[in-house]
Structure 1
């Protein structure tokens, strides 16, 4: 059987071809647009508050503008056009007349009934021969007939006649569906013949050249160049380079904000004449005397900047952090637009600071994130995070002569009457404003460490160069909470993962997050879903942000980072109950690293910093004891020897606890002989062991 390739001369299958191509592009794009977002900001709950800051309408407008960018209008338009093309192709398929391959039917060709016998068929064929025989008929020019067409028609009539009367040909027809036997396989190419006709070849080559030589390289190059322009923190490579050049070992606070202003993203934000528009007015407002968070060095650095774009970006960031009203709607809008850009750039600065390992810039990077999210200078009072709190209210609460700032926790530890006497009054807060501020304070996710320790999975001590875990047990205790239950000591223990959870044992992923509950008197293992804390209460930030807790170890003596930060965004136990009240559950946070290669006691400072709130940070000393391997092995051997006998009371109790009987001890021959000499029944020796082990168990 031969194969015959033919072109779809009428273009009948061309819609199928276009439908397939458009579907391959449109359907994946549709899934990408409609699939549920896994971003933390889209799945976390919110802190309940009706507080609206000044220029709340501008903040909301910037949020909407940012969302429009993230939705990628070009992708939406492409999907719409794709479905229009697909609908058009479906329409063409349904309404366009298509020629289909029909089965060979000799009765239809001859025009006789299927009930006709052989004689009737012969008579009918003879009548047709008199009419259609080439010697009897002439081509009709009016019908565009040719001699070849007449010959082909008579051949078809003859084949049909023999298919019904000749035994051999009839067998071919019955077996293969055609009097000529098995037919060749024809493949129709879904391209109109117009494309490959003589004279059109140069146009086809031109189209192919444009598609393969211009359009495809352009798309691939644009994708490749676009992907190479960004770092893994989704920051422009050029911005990361600028920030790297601004980095200094002692850089902190406003210096970091100045480094962030060098980001290339601000050029896109302030393109055209936006960079110079309103710059003089902006600088006058920011450099006013009431902007006390700026030092003389900061003011001078702003004036000495040569780049107009960077100069305006820095002024906008300082205006945002200082909550300076610029007296111009356009400038205020740019102020709120600049903050999310700078917040994204802090990821690049943090990565650079971690590469150098100096403690001050690392902590400063997290402080900069707090400042940008809360629109509060890093050196200002954490109370400014609360709704309606201003510098005047903070001075009244903390005292005009106070040299230290109150954290929200310390403020909430004051009695209600004391808080009211300080915060409520003429020129301060009203009762409604005070109630609103207290409500938000009581919802802040303050994570307090209950216990922190080091361990090696499956081992009782830490040995040199082993994979050690820092286990942090902490509880969410919102400021001002009362009747806080004591910590259950069992919750402060850490149980190794199951033996079959190899990924967790090897440190490739966290242990299976499972819990055991009683159902109908039986223990059932259930999967525990990860829990997110509420979104950061950041009324001045023109984007949603899910809080992140960064835990790392530092060497305070050298001012260096010892173990890089581990970031936690979700937790294994509910933070709030169904009524919205705190559960005070003990959360388990783990970070794994390699122990030092030498034996000794190593003291670190454990830092736990939330990137979204000021004053919720934790610092505490913690010591890692690295034991000598030989000593650790001896201790473990002693523990194994002290295991109770199977036939002792202690052994029976252990079996009831663990569900497994302890191994029998192997006694030396000398012990056995002496035992037999001292007590033939062996009761005394057993009683001694039993009492000792029972006391240990108690």
Structure 2
């Protein structure tokens, strides 16, 4: 057997090589592009409809279109379209070249018989074919001619003679050829000119660059790109600068200063072109920012100064004459939410209550474009600082919340809002409609419990049970059904529910539309939703923010005296029941009870990350009791049955004064006194019952 090596001069095998290389590149790119995301998109979530348009509405919409365009990944999609089109063409060439390849003469195929057929079966089959296809007996049909019939019969006869020869048939069965083992050639899917003296070095250089430089570069770029970001999608360098900026006594203003450290990657490269930009920003915001912000701004330099100024420009709703600055302002505001998620994770690790609350509340300011210390009424459309001063009677100690404003009568609200230098009737109606759609969580009941127990004991797995309702401001909700405030334990045979896993019998919907940006406990929703998915949460009403967001509520327990977070937060994103019917929602935060008995005073915080003035804070006491010792006394109500009087247990029970059953033998020999016996037995049973009652009373 000989082996020949030949090159693909006719381009017959080159499509195989190209298709293989394309598949190596297109496979991973296609999967990463179209793989299902772990997070559900927000395009289908319901919205709070409003016709209100901010002053820089055009810039905000332009920014949204830009982000949508980036999310479509035009370059990647173009690469995939061209790549798969070329792949389809290569497949077409492969199929056509395979069809043109000459086939090996196969007598088994010609006769239409299997290779396992015996010589006798071959002869029998040949006789049947001779009756049908012999030129003297064949009946010509359609386009058949006598010449084609003769050629077909020649092929059949040739195949028959080949298969009736024992050696030829064995060669076909073993080697697939009548002459036995044949030499074969190895085709190289490249034309021969690739190794010619004048071009082989160029070809080697091409392969060296592709497989030695380009491929490792892109693989390394992808790998280090995945390690470059935190789980919150923030650069590691940015997270490090946020960590360095942490302070124990951090308020909302300080949080904005820390977040400005995230602008390095955005503005460091363009630092030379920022000359004069800082002055434009500072002159535009100097009369709008709180006291102390300008002095902090003057201490900063370069990219950090610009980021800090743009953050305050966004929160004060400042417009620039420079469209590029307006676009950068929206970019920084959207990125600042991601930076704040990373900052909140850092602050949670330190467990100080004040920085944690500052980070959660600055998210409200960023989403609603309201500076720290600003009025929550600015969340309503068409409300301005001038109108709010009139409503609050300027000089009041605290700003009004939406709840306080909506608690006024409609007549009083109209008197304050509608009229000259105020709102029109249409604007007022829309503002009120929006106020009545902003979700506000009302805590109906909060208590601690241990599943399956009546008391909380040391080191037990304890749960903070929250019974809440969504009641927008100005909306009258019906009274709560007391049964809805109870928390029933699962059945003893429902093992899945007891260990906190979704059972097949009762499917608790725990699906969320958004991954929590902070380390949180898993949200356990005890309300059951059967037959349908839970309602999709409504997007945050934030007309100034350049992206769609979902409102989230963070619940955690803290110690008021030490100012420390005691129990890590739980994040509420989705409700298991519809919120428009004021259904009581149940959420549980699980943690370990203290190791010692006594009372532990917590301060519970419920903070929304999207709406100002909706936070809730209350004191709550956890009472930890010493575990009770098992009562060794036998209680009659716990007994399965009373012993008979003739048994050993019955004799011992009689000596202790406990009631016993009359034996069947005794009843059999005293038929005449059945009525007296029954009467006496009833009396004994009554005595036993009275004894049990007294015992319970003594224990109490």
User: Aligned pair in 2 of structure 1 residues 167, 86: CA closer, same or farther (>3 Å)?
Assistant: closer
Q: 1:487: Cα distance to partner?
A: 1.4
Specify the alignment match of 1:26 in structure 2.
Answer: 26
Q: After superposition, give the CA deviation of every residue in 1:285-310 in whole Å (9 maximum; x if it has no partner).
A: 2113xx2x421x3211101112x211
Q: Secondary structure at the match of 2:261?
A: coil
Q: Which moved more, 1:454-463 or 1:539-548?
A: 454-463
Specify the alignment match of 2:298 in structure 1.
Answer: 303
Specify the alignment match of 1:612 in structure 2.
Answer: 610
Q: 1:259: Cα distance to partner?
A: 1.0
Work out whether residues 504 and 511 of structure 1, in 8 Å CA contact, stay in contact via their aligned partners in 2: no
Q: 1:96: Cα distance to partner?
A: 4.2
User: Aligned pair in 2 of structure 1 residues 443, 626: CA closer, same or farther (>3 Å)?
Assistant: same
Specify the alignment match of 2:548 in structure 1.
Answer: 544
User: Aligned pair in 2 of structure 1 residues 425, 273: CA closer, same or farther (>3 Å)?
Assistant: farther
Specify the alignment match of 1:233 in structure 2.
Answer: 232
Q: 1:440: Cα distance to partner?
A: 0.5
Specify the alignment match of 1:559 in structure 2.
Answer: 563
- Indicate yes or no: 2:221 matched with 1:222: yes
Q: 1:56: Cα distance to partner?
A: 0.5
Q: Secondary structure at the match of 2:478?
A: coil
Specify the alignment match of 1:359 in structure 2.
Answer: 353
Specify the alignment match of 1:591 in structure 2.
Answer: 589
Unaligned runs of 5+ in 1: 118-159, 517-523, 576-581, 649-664
Q: 1:544: Cα distance to partner?
A: 0.7
> Among 158, 167, 174, which residue is 1:169 paired with?
167
Q: In the aligned structure 2, how far is the partner of 1:469 from the partner of 1:84?
A: 58
Q: 1:204: Cα distance to partner?
A: 5.8
Q: 1:26: Cα distance to partner?
A: 3.4
Q: Which moved more, 1:560-569 or 1:169-178?
A: 169-178
Unaligned runs of 5+ in 2: 111-125, 131-157, 510-527, 643-648, 663-675
Q: 1:370: Cα distance to partner?
A: 0.2
Where do residues 397-436 of structure 1 align in structure 2 (5 Å cutoff)?
Answer: 397-436=391-430
Q: After superposition, give the CA deviation of every residue in 1:130-187 in whole Å (9 maximum; x if it has no partner).
A: xxxxxxxxxxxxxxxxxxxxxxxxxxxxxx8996498443443665553334778x79
Q: After superposition, give the CA deviation of every residue in 1:62-81 in whole Å (9 maximum; x if it has no partner).
A: 11112222333332222122
Specify the alignment match of 1:294 in structure 2.
Answer: 290
Q: 1:237: Cα distance to partner?
A: 1.3
- Indicate yes or no: 2:500 matched with 1:491: no
Specify the alignment match of 1:59 in structure 2.
Answer: 60
Q: 1:514: Cα distance to partner?
A: 3.0
> Among 570, 573, 577, which residue is 2:574 paired with?
570
Specify the alignment match of 1:312 in structure 2.
Answer: 306
Q: In the aligned structure 1, how far is the partner of 2:40 from the partner of 2:108?
A: 69
Work out whether residues 322 and 376 of structure 1, in 8 Å CA contact, stay in contact via their aligned partners in 2: yes
Q: Secondary structure at the match of 1:566?
A: strand
Q: 1:361: Cα distance to partner?
A: 0.7
Q: In the aligned structure 1, how far is the partner of 2:253 from the partner of 2:96?
A: 69
User: Aligned pair in 2 of structure 1 residues 674, 645: CA closer, same or farther (>3 Å)?
Assistant: closer
Where do residues 159-198 of structure 1 align in structure 2 (5 Å cutoff)?
Answer: 164=162, 167-172=165-170, 175=173, 178-181=177-180, 191-192=189-190, 194=192
Specify the alignment match of 2:515 in structure 1.
Answer: none
Work out whether residues 256 and 311 of structure 2, in 8 Å CA contact, stay in contact via their aligned partners in 1: yes
User: Aligned pair in 2 of structure 1 residues 30, 196: CA closer, same or farther (>3 Å)?
Assistant: closer
Q: 1:363: Cα distance to partner?
A: 0.2
Q: In the aligned structure 1, how far is the partner of 2:41 from the partner of 2:572?
A: 12
Q: 1:456: Cα distance to partner?
A: 2.3
Work out whether residues 11 and 189 of structure 2, in 8 Å CA contact, stay in contact via their aligned partners in 1: yes
Work out whether residues 464 and 595 of structure 1, in 8 Å CA contact, stay in contact via their aligned partners in 2: yes
User: Aligned pair in 2 of structure 1 residues 167, 486: CA closer, same or farther (>3 Å)?
Assistant: same
Work out whether residues 552 and 571 of structure 2, in 8 Å CA contact, stay in contact via their aligned partners in 1: yes
Q: In the aligned structure 2, how far is the partner of 1:161 from the partner of 1:350?
A: 83
Q: Which moved more, 1:99-108 or 1:538-547?
A: 99-108
Q: 1:690: Cα distance to partner?
A: 8.3
> Among 302, 313, 316, which residue is 1:322 paired with?
316
Specify the alignment match of 1:271 in structure 2.
Answer: 270
Q: Secondary structure at the match of 1:551?
A: strand
> Among 437, 451, 474, which residue is 1:457 paired with?
451
Q: In the aligned structure 1, how far is the partner of 2:401 from the partner of 2:251?
A: 21
Where do residues 244-255 of structure 1 align in structure 2 (5 Å cutoff)?
Answer: 244-255=243-254
Q: After superposition, give the CA deviation of every residue in 1:50-102 in whole Å (9 maximum; x if it has no partner).
A: 11111101111111112222333332222122222213213323444755362
Specify the alignment match of 1:256 in structure 2.
Answer: 255
Q: In the aligned structure 2, how far is the partner of 1:263 from the partner of 1:337?
A: 12
Q: In the aligned structure 2, how far is the partner of 1:4 from the partner of 1:539?
A: 75
Work out whether residues 513 and 527 of structure 1, in 8 Å CA contact, stay in contact via their aligned partners in 2: no
Specify the alignment match of 1:154 in structure 2.
Answer: none
Where do residues 132-151 of structure 1 align in structure 2 (5 Å cutoff)?
Answer: none
Q: After superposition, give the CA deviation of every residue in 1:357-391 in whole Å (9 maximum; x if it has no partner).
A: 11111000011000000011221211111001111
Specify the alignment match of 2:150 in structure 1.
Answer: none
Q: In the aligned structure 2, how far is the partner of 1:398 from the partner of 1:249?
A: 33
Q: After superposition, give the CA deviation of every residue in 1:210-260 in whole Å (9 maximum; x if it has no partner).
A: 344322321232123212221121111111122222221111111111111
Q: In the aligned structure 2, how far is the partner of 1:169 from the partner of 1:32?
A: 57
User: Aligned pair in 2 of structure 1 residues 101, 452: CA closer, same or farther (>3 Å)?
Assistant: farther
Work out whether residues 17 and 190 of structure 1, in 8 Å CA contact, stay in contact via their aligned partners in 2: no
Give the alignment's TM-score, normalised by structure 1: 0.77
Q: In the aligned structure 1, how far is the partner of 2:91 from the partner of 2:217?
A: 31
Q: In the aligned structure 1, how far is the partner of 2:281 from the partner of 2:24?
A: 51
Q: 1:550: Cα distance to partner?
A: 0.6
Q: In the aligned structure 2, how far is the partner of 1:197 from the partner of 1:688?
A: 112
Work out whether residues 12 and 98 of structure 1, in 8 Å CA contact, stay in contact via their aligned partners in 2: no
Q: In the aligned structure 2, how far is the partner of 1:588 from the partner of 1:5?
A: 77
User: Aligned pair in 2 of structure 1 residues 270, 646: CA closer, same or farther (>3 Å)?
Assistant: farther
Q: In the aligned structure 2, how far is the partner of 1:610 from the partner of 1:66?
A: 26
Work out whether residues 40 and 546 of structure 1, in 8 Å CA contact, stay in contact via their aligned partners in 2: no
